[in-house]
C-alpha cells in the first residue's frame, strides 16, 4: 500500500497541474474579452487568476470543482439538508440505487444466460450472437425507448433506469461466466463422471466454484457499465434527479462547474464500487484458496 | 464361483481423426480376477490408458465387449464400482484435504457421521492423518497424490483404477508411494488396474503384467509374476525380479516398441 501511494500521488499531482494549465489556456480568451470590454488592461497574473475563478468557465479549475462538491455535499449536510434536491448526495443516491439494482439484475440475468449456454446446446448455438448484437446498439438510442415504453405500461422511477443498467451490465457477466463455467478441465469432468455425479452436483460442486475468478473479473466491468447505464437512463427523463440529471441541467444552463462536479462524483462512485468488489473478490478467493 | 472382475473380449476402439482412423485398441482379450494387481505397460500410443478408460466407461469401445463385475462398464460406473486415480491429483483448491475426500461421499449421499469416519479411515490408510484440515497447496506433490488415492478409496468400490498416478513424481517419492500402495492393497484386498511406463514399477507392484504395443494398440504379452506377495523394496535386486523385468523388456521389444 505504501509503495503504491507515492506513484499514485505523483500521477494525481501531474494531472492537477495539467488541468490548471488547460484551464488557463481554455478560459483565457474569455478573460481577455471581458477585460477589453471593461476597458482595462490587466497583467498576466491577473488574467491567470481570472481564468481560475470565472462563473461559467469553459474548463473549471480543480479548486472550483472541489468547492462546488464541498458546498453541495458537506455544507448541505451541515445545514441539515443533505437529501434536498440541491444536494449532490441526493443525486448520487438516486444514481447509486439505480446502479445497484441494475447491477444485481444484470448479474442474475448474466449468470442465468451463461448457465443456459453451458448446459443447453440450443442456447449455446443461438444465444451468444444475440447477446453480442444487443451490445452493438448504442445505449443512448435505446434508453429513451425503454423509458417511454415502460412509462406507457405504468412503470416509472427506479426500475426503467435499472433496466438500462442491466442491459449494459449483463454482457460482461455472460461472457465471463460462460468462460468460467467451462474452465474445469477434461480430467475434472471425467472425475465427476467416475463418481456418476448428476449435472446439478457437477454444477454446484465443480463448475460454479471454478468460475469464481472469472465472475469477479466480470463483475468489476459490469459495475462500471451499470453506473454508465444509470446515468444514461437519467438523461431522457427530463432531468429530474440523479447525476445524469445534474449533467443535463448543467449543460442546459452552461453550468460547467456543476457538470464537472457531477462527473467527478460519478468517477468517485465508480471507483468506490469497483474497489468494493475488489475487496470481496480478495476475501472470497483467499478463502477458496484461489488467490 | 466366478471370480473374474473385469473381462474384455475382442475389445477394439478406433478414433476417427482428420488424419484417418487411429486404432487405439484392436482385438484385446483380458480377464482380471478379484484381488489381482494388474499393471499395463507399454510405450505411449499403445492404448494402455484407453483400455483403462474403457473399463471406467470414460471411453466407448467401437468393437467387442467389456464387462465389469459382470455388468456393462456403464452400469458398473453408475453403481460406483470403481475408484479412479488420475495422473494429476486434481484436488479442489477451495476444499481442504478432508473436504476433497468428502466430495465423492457427498455426491453419493453418505451420512455425515459415516463420512467423518471414512475420512479418518482412508487418511490413516495413506498415512495422512492430521492433514484433514490442510488445503492442497499446503501439501507436497506426493502427499497430494496420496490424498487423491484416499479419495478413491473412501467409498466402497472393490476396484481401483490408476492411470500413471506417480508419473509426475520424482523417483524417491515414487519408491515410497509404491511401497505404501502395496501395503494398502494387502490391507484392502482391492482389485487394482495400474497404468505405468516404468518397468521396475510394474514388476515391483503387480501380480500380473500386461505388456502392450502400439499401432494398433494390442496386448503382446501377459506375465504372471512369480514374486511373493511380501515385497520389500530390495526385492528389486533379486534374480527373480530381474528375470521378470527382462521378460517385460523382451515383450516391449517384440511389440516393435523401440522401432521409432
Over the stretch B55-103, which tens digit does the pLDDT of each residue have?
Answer: 999 999 998 889 998 898 899 898 888 999 998 888 999 999 999 999 9
With CA atoms as reference, report the closest residue to B123 among B66, B184, B171, B78. B184
pTM of the model: 0.83
Closest CA to B168 of A202, A187, A207: A187
Question: How far apart are the C-alpha atoms of A114 and A124, rounded to whole Å?
Answer: 9
Cell output for B149: 488415492
Phi and psi, residue B98, nearest 5°: -60, -45
Q: What pLDDT score does A239 carry?
A: 54
More confident residue, A236 or B181: B181
The Cα–Cα gap between A289 and A273 comes to 24
Q: Give the pLDDT of residue B54.
A: 93
Q: What is the CATH number of the domain that holds A253?
A: 1.10.3720.10
| A114 and A54 in a common domain | no
How far away is chain A from the Cα of B231, in angstroms, using its nearest Cα? Answer: 31
Q: Domain of A205?
A: 88-287
**Confidence class of residue B260 from pLDDT cuts 50, 70 and 90?**
very low
A184 shares a domain with A108: yes
Give the pLDDT mean for B20-35.
88
Is residue A151 less than 8 Å (CB to CB) from chain B? no
Q: Which letter does DSSP use for residue B137 in this model?
A: G
Q: Is residue A209 less than 8 Å (CB to CB) from chain B?
A: yes
Residues from chain B contacting residue A195 (CB–CB below 8 Å): 80, 103-104, 107-108
pLDDT at B257 over 50: no
Identify whether the C-beta of residue B161 lies closer than 8 Å to the C-beta of residue B52. Answer: yes
* pLDDT value of residue B43: 86
The reply to whether A40 and A160 lie within a common domain is no
Residues A174 and A276 in one domain: yes
> What is the per-residue pLDDT for B256?
61
Euclidean distance between CA atoms A127 and A189, whole angstroms: 24
What residues of chain B lie within 8 A of the CB of A188, using their CB?
90
pLDDT score, position A62: 92
The predicted structure's pLDDT at residue B84: 93
Peptide bond into B216 cis (omega under 30): yes
- The answer on pLDDT for B210 being more than 70 is yes
Q: What is the percent of chain B where pLDDT is above 70?
A: 97
Q: Does B104 touch chain A (CB under 8 A)?
A: yes
Question: In the 8-state DSSP scheme, what is residue B135?
Answer: -
Q: Check residue A96 and give its pLDDT.
A: 94
Check pLDDT > 50 for residue B1. Answer: no
Residue A79 domain-assigned (yes or no): no
Pair (A120, A53) in one structural domain: no
**pLDDT beneath 50: ranges in chain A:** none
Residue A162 lies in a domain: yes
Do A111 and A48 share a structural domain? no
- Residue A163 is predicted with a pLDDT of 92
Asked if residue A281 and residue A155 are part of one domain, the reply reads: yes
Q: Are A53 and A93 members of one domain?
A: no
Distance from CA of A78 to the nearest CA of B (A): 48
Counting the structural domains of chain A, the total is 2
On whether both A100 and A240 belong to a single domain, the answer is yes
Helix (H) / strand (E) containing A171: helix A158-181
At residue B236 the predicted structure's pLDDT band, cuts being 50, 70 and 90, is confident
Q: Are residues A116 and A6 in the same domain?
A: no
Amino acid at each position: 500500500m505504501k509503495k503504491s501511494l507515492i506513484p499514485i500521488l505523483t500521477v494525481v499531482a501531474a494531472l492537477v497541474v495539467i488541468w490548471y494549465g488547460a484551464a488557463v489556456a481554455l478560459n483565457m480568451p474569455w478573460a481577455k474579452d471581458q477585460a477589453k470590454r471593461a476597458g482595462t488592461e490587466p497583467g498576466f497574473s491577473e488574467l491567470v487568476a481570472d481564468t481560475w475563478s470565472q462563473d461559467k468557465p469553459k474548463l473549471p479549475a480543480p479548486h472550483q470543482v472541489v468547492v462546488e462538491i464541498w458546498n453541495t455535499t458537506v455544507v448541505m449536510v451541515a445545514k441539515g439538508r443533505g437529501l434536498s434536491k440541491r444536494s449532490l448526495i441526493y443525486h448520487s443516491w438516486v444514481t447509486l440505487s439505480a446502479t445497484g439494482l441494475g447491477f444485481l439484475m444484470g448479474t442474475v440475468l448474466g449468470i442465468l444466460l451463461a448457465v443456459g449456454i453451458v448446459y443447453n446446446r440450443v442456447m449455446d448455438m443461438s444465444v451468444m450472437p444475440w447477446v453480442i448484437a444487443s451490445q452493438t446498439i448504442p445505449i443512448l438510442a435505446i434508453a429513451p425507448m425503454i423509458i417511454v415504453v415502460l412509462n406507457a405500461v405504468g412503470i416509472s422511477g427506479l426500475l426503467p433506469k435499472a433496466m438500462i443498467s442491466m442491459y449494459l451490465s449483463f454482457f460482461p457477466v455472460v461472457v465471463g461466466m460462460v468462460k468460467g463455467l467451462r474452465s474445469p478441465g477434461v480430467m475434472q469432468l471425467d472425475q465427476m463422471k467416475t463418481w456418476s455425479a448428476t449435472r446439478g452436483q457437477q454444477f454446484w460442486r465443480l463448475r460454479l466454484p471454478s468460475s469464481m475468478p472469472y465472475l469477479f473479473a466480470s463483475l468489476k466491468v459490469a459495475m462500471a457499465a451499470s453506473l454508465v447505464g444509470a446515468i444514461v437512463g437519467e438523461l431522457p427523463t427530463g432531468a429530474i434527479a440523479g447525476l445524469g440529471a445534474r449533467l443535463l441541467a448543467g449543460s442546459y444552463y452552461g453550468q460547467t462547474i456543476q457538470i464537472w462536479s457531477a462527473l467527478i462524483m460519478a468517477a468517485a462512485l465508480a471507483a468506490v464500487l469497483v474497489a468494493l468488489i475488489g475487496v470481496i473478490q480478495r476475501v472470497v478467493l483467499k478463502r477458496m484458496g484461489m488467490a | 464361483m466366478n471370480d473374474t472382475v473385469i473381462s474384455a473380449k475382442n475389445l477394439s476402439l478406433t478414433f476417427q481423426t482428420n488424419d484417418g482412423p487411429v486404432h487405439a485398441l484392436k482385438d484385446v482379450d483380458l480377464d482380471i480376477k478379484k484381488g489381482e494387481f494388474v499393471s499395463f505397460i507399454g510405450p505411449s500410443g499403445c492404448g494402455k490408458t484407453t483400455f483403462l478408460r474403457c473399463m471406467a466407461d470414460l471411453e466407448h469401445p467401437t468393437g467387442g465387449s467389456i464387462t465389469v463385475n459382470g455388468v456393462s462398464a456403464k452400469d458398473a460406473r453408475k453403481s460406483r464400482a470403481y475408484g479412479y486415480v488420475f495422473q494429476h491429483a486434481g484436488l479442489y483448491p477451495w476444499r481442504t484435504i478432508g473436504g476433497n475426500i468428502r466430495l465423492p461421499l457427498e455426491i453419493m449421499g453418505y451420512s455425515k457421521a459415516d463420512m467423518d469416519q471414512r475420512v479418518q479411515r482412508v487418511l490413516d490408510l495413506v498415512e495422512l492423518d492430521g492433514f484433514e484440515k490442510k488445503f492442497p497447496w499446503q501439501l507436497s506433490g506426493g502427499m497430494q497424490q496420496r490424498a487423491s488415492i484416499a479419495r478413491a478409496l473412501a467409498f466402497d468400490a472393490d476396484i481401483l483404477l490408476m492411470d500413471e498416478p506417480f508419473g509426475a513424481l520424482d523417483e524417491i517419492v515414487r519408491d515410497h508411494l509404491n511401497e505404501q500402495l502395496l501395503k494398502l492393497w494387502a490391507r484392502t484386498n482391492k482389485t487394482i488396474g495400474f497404468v505405468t511406463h516404468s518397468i521396475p514399477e510394474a514388476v515391483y507392484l503387480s501380480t500380473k503384467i500386461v505388456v502392450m504395443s502400439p499401432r494398433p494398440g494390442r496386448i503382446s504379452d501377459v506375465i504372471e509374476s512369480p514374486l511373493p506377495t511380501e515385497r520389500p523394496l530390495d526385492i528389486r535386486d533379486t534374480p527373480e525380479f530381474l528375470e521378470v523385468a527382462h521378460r517385460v523388456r523382451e515383450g516391449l521389444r517384440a511389440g516393435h516398441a523401440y522401432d521409432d
